[in-house]
Structure 1
């Protein structure tokens, strides 16, 4: 009779261990999914910022006949907004009639 009780305890322990392993696996997969979505979102934000900058620079040139002299000019007169804590925008003016060199760098955490 004691033999059956020992086997029952062992089966209960195995089920518990299997449940814990399954739970940990689900948690790991969930965290990986969240990380993947986060990096995808940041990439889309960067693409959106690139498009907005190019659109604003081109529009400014079409309206005023010269490219904007600074990034602040685009912010003030054309409503450019972006997350300055997440992205660094290097804006180099070469001349009033030459397209500025724009580089967008993602800041680390």
Structure 2
């Protein structure tokens, strides 16, 4: 039996590594990109929530400046001060403290 001088019996064991190493590299890059885009999505939704909360706060202050009292709920701000809130993404809760005290304002992200 004659051995090939060029392969020296290593050819059969080298073939799986030629496939496995690039596949693992591709998988690592894919997972990194996937995790990165998920993180961006979370940050974007949180930033949108903070922006919505600030819009509710500004509308409440505007209501106080014009009427001399803070609103009782977000629906009042939507009806009289043009507040537009995406109710499919956010839930807004105003907890009145008094007519002349800023209500506690909470905007929550809805799942889905």
Same fold (TM over 0.5): yes
- Match of residue 10 from structure 2: 7
Task: List aligned pairs for 1:88-99, cutoff 5 A.
Answer: 88-99=91-102
Task: List aligned pairs for 1:27-106, cutoff 5 A.
Answer: 27-106=30-109
Cα shift at 1:103: 1.7
Cα shift at 1:93: 2.1
Task: State the alpha-carbon separation in 2 of the partners of residues 8 and 31 from structure 1.
Answer: 35
After superposition, the C-alpha distances for 1:57-85 in whole angstroms (9 at most, x for unaligned) are 10111112221232111112222122222
Task: State the alpha-carbon separation in 1 of the partners of residues 82 and 14 from structure 2.
Answer: 66
* Deviates further, 5-14 or 70-79: 5-14
Runs of 5+ unmatched residues, structure 2 = none
* Deviates further, 82-91 or 27-36: 82-91
Relative CO higher for 1 or 2, CA cutoff 8 Å, sep ≥ 6?
Answer: 2
Task: State the alpha-carbon separation in 2 of the partners of residues 92 and 31 from structure 1.
Answer: 39
Give the TM-score of the pair, scaled to structure 2. 0.82
Runs of 4 or more, structure 1, over 4 Å off, are: none
Root-mean-square deviation (Å): 2.1
More helix by percentage: 1
Give the TM-score of the pair, scaled to structure 1. 0.84
